[in-house]
Structure 1
Amino acid sequence: MSYKPKTRFTVLIDGTEFELFSVRDRGNKELVIIEATPKYLGDHTGRIAYRAQHYSVHRTKDGADTTITQKIELENGDTLSSVSYIHDTTDHLLWPICARRLPIFETRNRVLKPRSKDTVYQVGSYGIGFASFMYSIFVAKNHFQLPASNLFSRAKTAQFNEFQIIVIPTYLNIPTDPDGDVCGMTTSDRGGLGISTMFQPE
């Protein structure tokens, strides 16, 4: 089986490059975004280990709309999923997939290990004793352009067949916490918006 190249987004932490997530264009108007997740999902009831997590972005209704699906598989066998359904995206689309605050990585299984055909975008650099790092992932149509502003000066974009992925990094001037979190936008069955937040200890 031939290897299909990925686009990888990374961050340099204390001199070591860690993968944040990768993107694969499936060639059928669909993107798959695979997060390099922390080890656990946590809440007030305790911690459960991740097995896998990904987002998929694809056209629906013959391209008139766009659907973004998140799926999480946990080691206990449970699955969590959420969906964003965005109407009328034939010409315009800009949607926040998720925003994440990184924890301290205690394990090194996320150290970048690219293959020769992969494309790598480094989105930031910091030291855990001096800063905390957050990043937001957006999906847009290929022709969308970010406004010329200092707010977006650090943004990284990757172009694909149908869509582009935009990553905007942010720093806090406080040391990195052992725990992190992530939030994402989802649409309800009535067309409203909701924000889901997950606590993610390393």
Structure 2
Amino acid sequence: MGTKPKTRFGVIFEGAKRELFSVRELDNGDLSIFFKAPPFYDFLDGRSEKTLEHRYSFHRSLNSTPPAITLMRTVALEGGQIIRTSQLRWRAGESFSTMVFARACPTLRPEHYIMKERPKDTVILLYPIDIGRTTLFYHVVVTDTSLDPVIFRRSGLWVTSETFGHFKLVVLSGFFLILPFHRGFVSHAMTSKMRVDGQEIGADLPPIDLGNVSPERLLIDIGRMTTLLAEGLAERHISYIREQRYAERFVTETRQLLSLRPVPTPPDLPRR
């Protein structure tokens, strides 16, 4: 039996498809989101190790009390370490919506990001045109299938959605008119401690909440997270701009970027 096909989400950069993440629906209805992570995982102590897989999984725990949906984040490293965190907060069968992760992309030029699609895969491009030298950012949201994603147009961001058997995946994306940094960053909210090889580490987290976060509240969180992504990007550039050669190149390329016309809004892509 062959590998199940994926739905690959990406953009066009320098004339080639670049992958942001992919989704695979399992036979039991669970959903796996494979994040196109950087080649190396950075630990807080300064160590780095090659990343083999960075995955977010939605599991329908129908036999639990009460039946619930669990979001699990798993990072597998080359050295054999497995890092896990989870978010358990929805009763199965009820309406729900949650942000899975938010991402400010690095430059997508490295070969690592080139999309390697298979014949049976589905490819969804967030934009039909080349994203150029701006910094792409996006939020990945998962909801139940009954939610109309049109509500997310209130964010002012581009809205792309795809429906699977038991879940609906929504991507809200936009651009910062500033050059991409050579390293991106990702943010996600979990309700369990991080586990490294089964051992809990880190500070205590808030109690598990099995309630629902409304789309209206999620829109507020998305707005706040967009601001945090922009601030983080600016801080990273500032930390490097003390180096004269970097500063000169940054100023020159930013002037060129700002002289470009704004990216047009294609009529078939709803924005608001």
Runs (4 or more) in structure 1 with deviation over 6 Å come to none
Matches within 5 A, 1:94-113: 94-105=97-108, 107-113=110-116
- Distance of 1:93 and 1:29 partners within structure 2: 16
Cα displacement string for residues 85-110 of structure 1 (whole angstroms, at most 9, x for unaligned residues): 01324221101111111112453132
> Of residues 176, 187, 208 in structure 2, which corresponds to 1:191?
208
- Distance of 1:24 and 1:152 partners within structure 2: 28
Please tell me the residue identity of whatever aligns with 2:174: T
TM-score (norm. length: structure 1): 0.85
Aligned to 2:228: none
Q: Which has the higher strand share?
A: 1
Aligned to 1:17: 17
Sequence identity percentage: 24
Please tell me the residue identity of whatever aligns with 2:30: E
Preserved CA contact (<8 Å) 1:27 1:161: no
Matches within 5 A, 1:16-165: 16-42=16-42, 43=44, 45-62=46-63, 64-105=67-108, 107-124=110-127, 125-128=130-133, 131-146=134-149, 147=151, 149-151=153-155, 154-165=158-169
Q: Which has the higher helix share?
A: 2
TM superposition shift of 1:112: 1.6
Which piece of structure 1 moves more, 160-169 or 74-83? 74-83
- Distance of 1:80 and 1:148 partners within structure 2: 31
Structure index of larger Rg: 2
- Distance of 2:67 and 2:173 partners within structure 1: 30
What secondary structure, in the 3-state scheme, does the structure 1 residue paired with 2:190 have?
A: strand
What secondary structure, in the 3-state scheme, does the structure 2 residue paired with 1:56 have?
A: strand
Cα displacement string for residues 32-54 of structure 1 (whole angstroms, at most 9, x for unaligned residues): 11112111122451432211111
What secondary structure, in the 3-state scheme, does the structure 2 residue paired with 1:185 have?
A: coil
What secondary structure, in the 3-state scheme, does the structure 1 residue paired with 2:158 have?
A: coil
Please tell me the residue identity of whatever aligns with 1:180: G
- Distance of 1:51 and 1:117 partners within structure 2: 23
Structure 1 runs not aligned, ≥5 long: none
After superposition, the Cα gap between the structure-2 partners of 1:105 and 1:47, relative to the gap in structure 1 and judged at 3 Å, is farther
